[in-house]
Chain A
Amino acid sequence: MAYVIIGTCINDSACVEVCPVDCIHPRPDEQGYASADMLWVDPEVCIDCNACAEACPIDAVMPAHKLPPELSRYEQINADFARESRS
């Protein structure tokens, strides 16, 4: 299980600043931040610490198991973004 960023994300990046394992991208200093539709959590790196969820000003991060059905697709979307960024 990992945390998942949902579509309400406004790219505030408060989550990026508090993440202890640097698993949220694109960081403001990374290429792609300016044009990013949303930020995403790399599920292979996330350690479920909840820091991002506490930092997010609009509650746009949550553990995957708490995603309501209409948002469940964001688990895959976060994972896809992470995979694409590695390739």
Chain B
Amino acid sequence: MTQGSDPLRVAIVGAGPSGQYAAVELLQRCHHAEVDLFDRTPTIGGLVRYGVSPDHAARRKVSDVSERMALSSGRFRFHGNVEIGTDLTHSQLSEHFHAVIYASGASSDRRLEIPGEDLPGCHAATAFVGWYNGHPDHADQSFNLDCERAVVIGNGNVALDVARMLLLSPEQLAKSDMADHAIEALRESRVREVVVLGRRGPAQAAFTAPELLELGQLSGVDVSVEGAAISDAPSSLRERLIQELQESPDTGQERRLVLRFLCSPLEISGNGKVERVRVAHNQLIADSTGTLRAQADGESSAIDCGLLFRSIGYRALPLPGLPFDEQRAVLPNAGGRVQTEAQQMLTGTYVTGWLKRGPSGVIGSNKQCARETVSALLEDWQQGRLTTPLGDLRELLQSSVPSAIDYAAWKRIDRSERQLGRDANRPRVKFTTRPSLLSAASR
């Protein structure tokens, strides 16, 4: 490195997969790099902890591996329970580091923009996911599980996660790392049917093949497919698997999952709460580019339900003091270098993950994304474009964010949760509120 043996000091905002991949990439590629990783929760993992569903807990191990890789550098620190933009401003952070990488993802979601969306019983799938995974922001939420049918709008893997969590047996949930409050609530659930709605057909659905394969293996659940014409020649594994589900016999199970294609929600209605959703029936029409688009065919019908989730995509929120592309809901950037709307580079400010490219891809997609951002950062460092930091971060944290916790404190949370899990024959038992997390952190 051209900067002699001076350390390259980098702050990364967000301890989810994109922030972790960026930390590891930076620490491995530049031996002068020192990384301070921030998260607004007291935990490391982001959506690996709070998004990945409890029956897929094997995937959570990726976070442990990244943590170990970062830690083994000896140049890694964690600051949990610190929200950038609130507890510390972007400029405060910038002054204390050569560079700041934003990796805070997409914590909000896209709305349906149809009448009745604000009725009690209609929720963002992301809120339900946060709730059953024990995210402290969602611990107090409640969902009407005193109904027979729930509807999930959207054709991505999150829609299937929500459907599975509503349909798995209490025994299956009880041995997972699902939040205790969710296990208790779902034990009393009367929901026996979940209808997952897609506005286009099976060939356009975004469900990945492994998730579809798993649906056919769910115990105690019959899966059926409605509204889709069986194709004579399925062109992909995904389509073949949906066809298999369509052809699978009904075995008289108590619980039922319906994948219903070619319909769009028009209106949610009910007397003071969600009671039904009216849907338009669609046909597929090729546009001028050949893309098949959903077009209402004039027919419509109603589906009775007491609970409805929208699951049509995550959406990032603007960060205080930073530009934002409202259209794409990303931090405007060129290859990871943050720039203003006028395409002026913001020196020393970078972005990676969903906040950089929008909510697409799977966990590992963020590795390549982080690689590009870190390459840009290291090039700027080598070219002497970064500003030397001023001030002592420790002093700033002590004076501005006394409630911040360090890596050792996070490990105390992690170890306590795993110990409680071992005692209960579960992967872990999560602390689900800020006070309980912080109390475990200080023990």
> Nearest chain B CB to A8's CB is how many angstroms away?
5
> Nearest chain B CB to A87's CB is how many angstroms away?
13
Contact assessment for B364 and A7 in the assembled complex, using a CB-CB cutoff below 8 Å: no
Complex-state Cα separation, A33 to B210, whole angstroms: 16
A73/B213 contact (C-beta < 8 A), A12-B367, A13-B367, A80-B237 known: yes
Q: In A58-87, which residues have CB < 8 Å from any B CB?
A: 58-60, 70, 73, 77, 80-81
B208 on the A face (CB < 8 A) = yes
Which residue of chain B has its CB nearest to the CB of A38?
Answer: B210
Q: Name the A residues within 8 Å of B66 (CB-CB).
A: 57
Q: Name the A residues within 8 Å of B210 (CB-CB).
A: 6-9, 37-38
Q: Name the B residues within 8 Å of A6 (CB-CB).
A: 210
Which residue of chain A has its CB nearest to the CB of B157?
Answer: A37
B385 on the A face (CB < 8 A) = no
Q: Name the B residues within 8 Å of A70 (CB-CB).
A: 217
> Nearest chain B CB to A73's CB is how many angstroms away?
7
B61 on the A face (CB < 8 A) = yes
> Nearest chain A CB to B152's CB is how many angstroms away?
20
Contact assessment for B62 and A10 in the assembled complex, using a CB-CB cutoff below 8 Å: yes
B214 on the A face (CB < 8 A) = yes
B365 on the A face (CB < 8 A) = yes
A34 on the B face (CB < 8 A) = yes
Q: Name the A residues within 8 Å of B367 (CB-CB).
A: 12-13, 28
Contact assessment for A59 and B58 in the assembled complex, using a CB-CB cutoff below 8 Å: yes
- Name the one of A28, A57, A60 contacting B368, with C-beta atoms under 8 angstroms: A28
Q: In A1-59, which residues have CB < 8 Å from any B CB?
A: 6-13, 28, 33-34, 37-38, 57-59
A10/B65 contact (C-beta < 8 A), A37-B209, A37-B237, A59-B58 known: no
Contact assessment for B213 and A57 in the assembled complex, using a CB-CB cutoff below 8 Å: no
B286 on the A face (CB < 8 A) = no
Q: Name the B residues within 8 Å of A33 (CB-CB).
A: 368
> Nearest chain A CB to B165's CB is how many angstroms away?
17
> Nearest chain B CB to A1's CB is how many angstroms away?
22
Q: Name the A residues within 8 Å of B415 (CB-CB).
A: none
- Name the one of B56, B208, B214, B360 contacting A38, with C-beta atoms under 8 angstroms: B208
B238 on the A face (CB < 8 A) = yes
Q: Name the A residues within 8 Å of B237 (CB-CB).
A: 37, 77, 80-81
Q: In B361-379, which residues have CB < 8 Å from any A CB?
A: 361-365, 367-368
Q: Name the A residues within 8 Å of B362 (CB-CB).
A: 10-11
Complex-state Cα separation, A28 to B370, whole angstroms: 13
B59 on the A face (CB < 8 A) = yes
Contact assessment for B365 and A34 in the assembled complex, using a CB-CB cutoff below 8 Å: yes
Contact assessment for B364 and A12 in the assembled complex, using a CB-CB cutoff below 8 Å: yes
Complex-state Cα separation, A59 to B57, whole angstroms: 12
Complex-state Cα separation, A7 to B362, whole angstroms: 12
Q: Name the B residues within 8 Å of A10 (CB-CB).
A: 59, 62, 362-364
Contact assessment for A38 and B209 in the assembled complex, using a CB-CB cutoff below 8 Å: yes
Complex-state Cα separation, A23 to B58, whole angstroms: 24
Complex-state Cα separation, A37 to B236, whole angstroms: 11
Contact assessment for A37 and B61 in the assembled complex, using a CB-CB cutoff below 8 Å: no
Complex-state Cα separation, A59 to B210, whole angstroms: 15
Contact assessment for A57 and B61 in the assembled complex, using a CB-CB cutoff below 8 Å: yes
> Nearest chain A CB to B115's CB is how many angstroms away?
34
> Nearest chain B CB to A33's CB is how many angstroms away?
8
Q: Name the B residues within 8 Å of A57 (CB-CB).
A: 61-62, 65-66
> Nearest chain B CB to A18's CB is how many angstroms away?
14
Complex-state Cα separation, A57 to B362, whole angstroms: 14
> Nearest chain B CB to A68's CB is how many angstroms away?
11
> Nearest chain A CB to B64's CB is how many angstroms away?
8
A7/B213 contact (C-beta < 8 A), A58-B59, A59-B58 known: yes
Beyond A6-B210, A10-B364, A11-B361: 15 further Cβ-contacts under 8 Å? A7-B210, A7-B213, A7-B214, A9-B364, A11-B365, A12-B364, A12-B367, A34-B365, A37-B237, A37-B238, A59-B61, A60-B58, A77-B237, A80-B237, A81-B237
| Contacts A/B (CB < 8 Å), 29 sampled | A6-B210, A7-B210, A7-B214, A8-B56, A8-B59, A10-B362, A11-B361, A11-B363, A12-B363, A12-B364, A12-B367, A13-B368, A28-B368, A33-B368, A34-B361, A34-B365, A37-B210, A37-B237, A37-B238, A38-B209, A38-B210, A57-B66, A58-B58, A58-B59, A58-B62, A59-B61, A73-B213, A80-B237, A81-B237
Closest 3 pairs (CB-CB, A-B): A7-B210, A11-B364, A12-B364
Chain A interfacial positions (CB closer than 8 Å to B): 6-13, 28, 33-34, 37-38, 57-60, 70, 73, 77, 80-81
